[in-house]
Chains A and B, each alone.
Chain A
């Protein structure tokens, strides 16, 4: 039983990370109809920034805040300098740009900080945080931090005029212009926010997966699965999808272990977790392409 609870708890902690990256993907998707394949590598780069700041003597949380802020600027700059000139380009060109960004971030990070795997600290005190036997201090901390970030985002989009303008620009850009919304800037702002959310995810997960230029590759896959489960155009769905995928992968592995214990036959285990994510992607796309919470878009032709 204790093991079962532990699996759920660590699933929620992983799920919180997936939820953040999935949300970042969805935010860009709803306003541009593109999936940013470089989202994970941008988050990785932000994590390196925070690591660099820490080695220069900043405390964890100071480095966290500065890195998240720098990531925001990085997102805005990428949108303005690289994607803005391409806003009328065909989808394929934009996908190539995303893949290019992915490769560039990966190799620049490798060139600056080397491909050696680094340890990354956890800011959560081991003694006073977490619930013994159920959830570790870092896992609980990750869940709390991401929930706070998601809550802040919800309040921003739901209750502030700027958040409203961003939603309007995403829903109908031309109409948004007609009420005076500077749609181009809303897109850049969306990129900035997505980049910041990715940075939060990266910095939180680095203690678990360790810091290296490829740290986000697997997580990006899980985030895709999460976003698809929730419905690719639904931000709340992406968050829910993140937690669902996080818990589900652990449950599958847990069930596999139990079966192996009981019968001695190995079917599935911890090694196949990433496969679970891919199976989810295929399953959702074939059975329910709109996701659990997505709306089926019916177009009149």
Chain B
């Protein structure tokens, strides 16, 4: 299958500090790929670099076209949805507004309503909270809202930064189940960054391991999972 996203020679800088050195990977169309690595390895930076939220160098090809250096909002409009780290919502806006903002460029009101209904089939809990301010939601609900909003963009590729962060294990399982459904039913390719390596490797088909801004290992999840170094460093057994 052709790669949806090809990253090669990617470097990223925060001011004078370089935090990615020559990162390269490919995301197959329709697949789920995960980026693993310790704190500070450059996982979040890689996602931010794809969306041009840091200064970068190298190439990022999406659908065969180089998008590196484009403005973040233009990249998003090519249907790459980025769910940032932490609670990625507009806390003072309502749930409804948080979802509608993702569709604000669209003129077909009926289409937006249909889209909302479709998103609510994945996140029925949000429908009950539709007029509530996002800041008053629980952590799990806020994470769901962030993913739901990304889905409103009708993405072809979804970048997820630590969706399990700070959430109870049961909620995390629920969110990961929903991600799998989104991948299968909506044909959304996913790039997942996760601290919880065991969970991520179960969900993903491919895995890349980052260390201090470089890819040190890659392969199908099953292979990476059985690698001794990965087991010791990230899976803890």
| B72 A179 Cβ-Cβ under 8 A | no
Known: A175-B88, A180-B153. A165 touches B72 (CB 8 A): no
Q: How many angstroms from the CA of A182 to the CA of B91 in the assembled complex? A: 20
Taking CB atoms, residues of chain B closer than 8 Å to A183 are: 73
Majority SS at the chain A contact face: helix
| B105 A180 Cβ-Cβ under 8 A | yes
Taking CB atoms, residues of chain A closer than 8 Å to B93 are: 164, 167-168, 171
**Proximity bits, A166-180, B CB within 8 Å = 1, else 0:** 011001101111111
Complex interface residues of chain B between 35 and 85 (CB less than 8 A to chain A): 51, 53, 71-73, 76-77, 81-82, 84
**Proximity bits, A235-250, B CB within 8 Å = 1, else 0:** 0000000000000000
Q: Which residue of A lies closest to B109 (CB)?
A: A161
Q: Does B230 contact A (CB under 8 A)?
A: no
Taking CB atoms, residues of chain B closer than 8 Å to A174 are: 53, 72, 84
| A161 B90 Cβ-Cβ under 8 A | no
Q: Does B229 contact A (CB under 8 A)?
A: no
| B76 A179 Cβ-Cβ under 8 A | yes
Taking CB atoms, residues of chain B closer than 8 Å to A177 are: 53, 71-73, 76
| CB < 8 Å neighbour of B51 from A171, A172, A176, A178 | A178
Q: Which residue of B lies closest to A160 (CB)?
A: B104
Q: Does B223 contact A (CB under 8 A)?
A: no
**Proximity bits, B81-107, A CB within 8 Å = 1, else 0:** 110100011111100010011111100
Q: Which residue of B lies closest to A165 (CB)?
A: B104
Q: Which residue of B lies closest to A172 (CB)?
A: B90
| A180 B77 Cβ-Cβ under 8 A | yes
Q: Which residue of B lies closest to A179 (CB)?
A: B102
Q: How many angstroms from the CA of A172 to the CA of B89 in the assembled complex? A: 9
Known: A178-B82, A180-B77. A171 touches B101 (CB 8 A): no
Known: A164-B104, A165-B101. A181 touches B73 (CB 8 A): yes
| B73 A182 Cβ-Cβ under 8 A | yes
Q: How many angstroms from the CA of A227 to the CA of B76 in the assembled complex? A: 36
Interchain Cβ contacts under 8 Å between A and B, 26 examples: A161-B103, A161-B105, A162-B104, A164-B97, A167-B92, A167-B93, A168-B90, A168-B97, A168-B101, A171-B92, A175-B88, A175-B90, A177-B53, A177-B76, A178-B51, A178-B72, A178-B81, A178-B84, A178-B88, A179-B76, A179-B149, A180-B73, A180-B153, A181-B73, A181-B101, A183-B73
| CB < 8 Å neighbour of A161 from B51, B89, B100 | B100
Taking CB atoms, residues of chain A closer than 8 Å to B153 are: 179-180
**Proximity bits, B178-192, A CB within 8 Å = 1, else 0:** 000000000000000
Q: On chain B, which size bracket covers the interface? A: 20 to 34
Q: Which 8 A-B pairs have the closest CB atoms?
A: A161-B104, A177-B72, A180-B76, A179-B102, A177-B73, A180-B77, A165-B104, A178-B82
Taking CB atoms, residues of chain B closer than 8 Å to A164 are: 93, 97, 100-101, 104
Taking CB atoms, residues of chain B closer than 8 Å to A178 are: 51, 72, 76, 81-82, 84, 88
Q: Which residue of B lies closest to A177 (CB)?
A: B72
Q: Which residue of B lies closest to A178 (CB)?
A: B82
4 new A-B contacts at CB < 8 Å, known A164-B100, A176-B90, A179-B76 = A164-B101, A171-B93, A178-B72, A180-B104
Q: How many angstroms from the CA of A165 to the CA of B76 in the assembled complex? A: 15
Q: How many angstroms from the CA of A104 to the CA of B96 in the assembled complex? A: 44
CB distance from A8 to the nearest CB of B (A): 34
Taking CB atoms, residues of chain B closer than 8 Å to A176 are: 90, 101
CB distance from B73 to the nearest CB of A (A): 5
CB distance from A122 to the nearest CB of B (A): 40
Q: Which residue of B lies closest to A167 (CB)?
A: B93
Taking CB atoms, residues of chain B closer than 8 Å to A162 are: 104
CB distance from A207 to the nearest CB of B (A): 38
Q: Which residue of B lies closest to A174 (CB)?
A: B53
| A175 B100 Cβ-Cβ under 8 A | no
Q: How many angstroms from the CA of A180 to the CA of B100 in the assembled complex? A: 12
CB distance from B80 to the nearest CB of A (A): 10
User: Which of B53, B73, B89 has most A Cβ within 10 Å?
Assistant: B73
Q: Which residue of B lies closest to A183 (CB)?
A: B73
Taking CB atoms, residues of chain B closer than 8 Å to A167 are: 90, 92-93, 97
Q: How many angstroms from the CA of A182 to the CA of B105 in the assembled complex? A: 10
Taking CB atoms, residues of chain A closer than 8 Å to B105 are: 161, 180
Taking CB atoms, residues of chain B closer than 8 Å to A171 are: 90-93
